[in-house]
Structures are given as structure tokens and as C-alpha cells.
Amino acid sequence: MSRFTSHIAIVATLAIAAVAWQSTASAQVIAYDHRSTVLGDQLAGASELVRAQGSFLKDEADAAETWTRVVAAQDQIQYKRSAYRYDVQRMESELRDRKAQANRERQQAEATAEMAEAVRLYQSVQRGAGLWPVALRQTKYAGSLATVSSLLRNWSPEDPSSDVYRAALATEIGVLKNRVAADRQLDFASRVDAVKTLKQLQQLATLPATELPSQWQERQLAMK
């Protein structure tokens, strides 16, 4: 009886030991599985972090490239605007220069034409005709006109000794011009024409012959 009891006790002890060993092994497996899951999570997290950093760096590179293109486009636009402004300023400057040149040429042409008219009047007075404007042929201007005509006949730009006549001529023409300009009894067109003619003669009387070579050559040829 005692030996049977002993056998039962040994079997029970072995059974308990087996259960205990199985529990320990299960616990180790569970613990190993738990450690394996944490490491995997860490590795997965690190992998996600690397991918996120790579994506961030790519986005940064794309953004930098986009910004570079935007800056280059802005620089190109600024360059085109600067070039356009320069072209506009250059064209405006050229236009002003052309207008100024055209005005100078027009004024020179007008001055030349006026001098030519003054020379023709001078020539007509030298011949004794005197192609005076209608307003100056009125009786009230007869005395002044006779004085001017006499001075014109005695004055010659080529003769230095006739400077006294030139000075007197310039003075007499100036007085007559002021009288005509203030005469409101004359119609506007006649008054303007007379003042213009007297002004031309006054300019002629104040210029040396060296400044009017073509006109005086024309006069000399016409008188031959």
C-alpha cells in the first residue's frame, strides 16, 4: 500500500513538473513573441520615418526647383520690362530729336525764305519799283515809306562806308513797323503782311553781307 502511494506521488510530481515546464515555455514564447513585435514596430517606424524624410527632401527639392523657375521667370519678365522701358525711352528721345531737328529745319527754311523775300524787295527798290504791301502804300505812310526807300537805295551791304545808312534804315523801319502794328484801322491780314515785310527788311539791315552770300549773289546777277 505504501509503495502504491509512493508511485502515485511520483506520477503526480512528474505531472506537476510537466505542467510547470509547459507554462514556463509558453511564457518564454509569449515573451519572445512580445519582444519580436516591439522590435518590428520599431523597425517599421524607422522605415516610415526614412520614407517620410525622403519624401520631405524630395518635396523640398521640388519646391526649390519650382522657386528657381519662378525667380528665373520673374527675372526674365523684369528684363523684358527694362528692355521695353529702354526701347520706349529711346524711341521717345529719337522722336524728340527728330521733332527738334524738323523744327530747326523748318525755322531755317522759313528764315531763308523770309530773307529771300527781303532781298527781292531790296532789289525792287534798287530798280525804283518798290513792291511794297498794300497797307504801306496808303497815304498816311507815304513819308515814312519814302524815307525807307531812299535809305535802301543808298545802302549797300558790300560797302562798309554805307553803315550809316544801314543804322538809319534799321531805326526808320522799326518806327514804321510799330506804327503799322498799332494801326487798328488796317484789316488784320494787311497789317500782318506789312509788319512781316518790315521785319524782314529790319533783319536784312542788321545782318552782315557775309551771312547772306547766296542772296547777294542772286541780287548781283539779277542787276547785271
Cell numbers representing residue 138 in the block: 496808303
User: How buried is residue 176: exposed, middle or buried, by Cβ count under 10 Å (0-12/13-18/19+)?
Assistant: buried
Q: Provide the H-helix boundaries in the chain.
A: 2-126, 142-154, 163-181, 188-206, 213-223
Q: What is the pLDDT of residue 213?
A: 45
Least confident of 5-19, 45-59, 125-139: 5-19
Question: Where residue 29 falls among pLDDT bands split at 50, 70, 90?
Answer: very low
Q: How large is the average pLDDT for residues 99-107?
A: 90
Q: What is the pLDDT of residue 181?
A: 92
Give the tens place of pLDDT for each residue, 126-171: 877 778 888 888 899 999 999 998 888 888 777 777 778 888 888 8
Q: How large is the average pLDDT for residues 41-64?
A: 70
Q: Provide the H-helix boundaries in 127-208.
A: 142-154, 163-181, 188-206
Average pLDDT for the chain: 75
Return d(Cα 9, Cα 1) in angstroms, integer: 12
